Amino acid sequence: MEKAKEVKLSTKGQIVIPQWVREKFDLGPGDRLLLELKEDMIILRPAIKLSKLRGIDRINEASEKLDKLRSEWDEEFDVRH
């Protein structure tokens, strides 16, 4: 895990995600993030881009990867509802 980096909350409740983080996760304007609360932590995770799933059925072990994605999505849905 990378070292923690402090960011400042704006008057509008926004933060700037550091460039090195955006590059590492290939984030750009309009990309969506999942926000999760765990005890005293706020966790941001990139939402899976559907464009990255194109052609996944041709990848070796695709069904296992899709099952894992579905499981993650189901868990995320359960947390929200």
For the chain, 81 residues long, give each residue's pLDDT as a single digit of tens. 667 889 999 999 999 999 999 999 889 898 889 899 999 999 998 887 665 666 655 556 666 777 788 788 777 777 665
Question: What's the CATH code, domain 1-47?
Answer: 2.10.260.10
For residue 8, the model assigns a pLDDT of 94
CA 18: distance to chain centroid? 15
Nearest to residue 47, comparing CAs of 11, 72, 64, 67?
72
pLDDT of 70 reads 78
Q: Is the dihedral of CA 43, 75, 60, 27 positive or negative?
A: negative
Write down the pTM of the prediction.
0.56
- What is the model's pLDDT at position 58? 59
| 34 touches 45 (CB < 8 A) | yes
Sign of CA dihedral 7, 15, 73, 75: positive
